[in-house]
Structures are given as C-alpha cells and as structure tokens.
Amino acid sequence: MSIFKVLLPFILLFGISSEENIQNNTVQKPTTYYFIRHAEKDRSDQSEKDPDLTAAGLKRAQNWAEVLKEVPLDMVLSTNYKRTLQTAAPVAREKGLSIENYEAGNGFDKQFKKRTAGKTVLVVGHSNTTPQFVNAILGEKKYADIDDKQNGALFIVQVLPGKIMDQVLYIN
C-alpha cells in the first residue's frame, strides 16, 4: 500500500470545511501542518554541534519527498541546522519551494500563526522541538519528546475555526 493511500483519508478529512462556516458563507481555509524531525544525523564526532545527515538520513530525507509528493505544500520551514535543512531539501526541491528558517524556541507565536494562516506547511525540527511545537498548537501537552532513535514520526495538525485535529504516523 502506498503512503499516499495511507494519508489520503487524512488529507480528505482535513480538507473539509466545518459545516458552520459553510452555513454562514464564511469558509475559512484551514491551516495544515506536517511536522517531521530531521533524519538520521552523523554521530561519529560527538563534539560536532551541527552534523550532516548520514547516508541513511539522506535516504530518509528523499523518502519524505516521496511520502509528501501528493500533499500541496505552500511552505517548507526548517531550523537553521545542516541536518534539518538537508532533511527539508528534497521536499522543497520536489515542490519548487525555498526553505524558510524559523526559530524553534519561539514556537507557535502570533507571528508564526499569521505567517502560516490558511497554508499547508512542512515544519522540520528536532526530537524535542517538534512535539513541543505540536503541543503548543494543540494547547495541551499531548506528545512527549521523540525518542532519539526515531526519525520517522509524521505529525499532522489541522487548525480549523473552533477545532484542531491531530494525528501522528510512523513511517519507517
């Protein structure tokens, strides 16, 4: 079964506007976030604070481009580290988008909400910042930090007027 077939129900579900908005003729475009952690990083030099991806990490980054091939992304965001930028690069290239930087520590603030409102966005982060970001959108501590050996978690969060839906898939 292709990953698209796995994601299709979520894409379709998330693409439906709320009945209340339709009745009021004020259809607001949902904001959809796809969050991933960077792929496998090179751990051979423990003193290296900004390592590249390993060969397996580069392969996983390419796989993310395939997984998200049918997702109509408007933006690709990444922290300014080699491992996150290298993870985001194949997706951005596939979509013809540039990679925009974001500060992971700022989280889901007013500026970020405005910048991404009504868009479909890939956000590439880290084992701690990705679930923290998702939790900030949800307004609750639902997700713990990602295990350091887990690089295949895909968090999907959709923000609709008065409703937030979330799902996490593990693609390994």
CB atoms within 10 A of CB 107: 14
- What was the pLDDT predicted at 106? 74
- Summarize pLDDT for 14-50 with one digit per residue, the tens: 544 444 444 455 568 999 999 999 999 999 999 999 9
Regions of the chain short of the pLDDT cut 70: 1-27
In 38-138, at which residue ranges do the beta strands (DSSP E only) sit? 75-78, 99-101, 120-125
Q: Which of 40, 80, 45, 35 is nearest to 61 (CA)?
A: 40
Backbone angles phi, psi at 29, to 5 degrees: -70, 130
Query: What pLDDT, on the 0 to 100 scale, is given for residue 107?
Result: 76
3-state secondary structure of 58: helix
3-state secondary structure of 116: helix
Distance CA 111, CA 42 (A): 33
Task: Please tell us whether the domain made up of 29-42+50-170 is placed in CATH 1.10.3720.10.
Answer: no
Contact 64, 156 (CB under 8 A): no
Question: At 112, is the secondary structure helix, strand, or coil?
Answer: helix
So what's the pLDDT on residue 170?
95
Phi then psi for residue 6, to 5 deg, are -70, -40
Question: Residue 144: its pLDDT value, please?
Answer: 97
- Give the SS3 label for residue 59: helix
Dihedral-angle region of residue 95 (phi above 0 means left; psi in -120 to 50 means alpha; beta otherwise): alpha
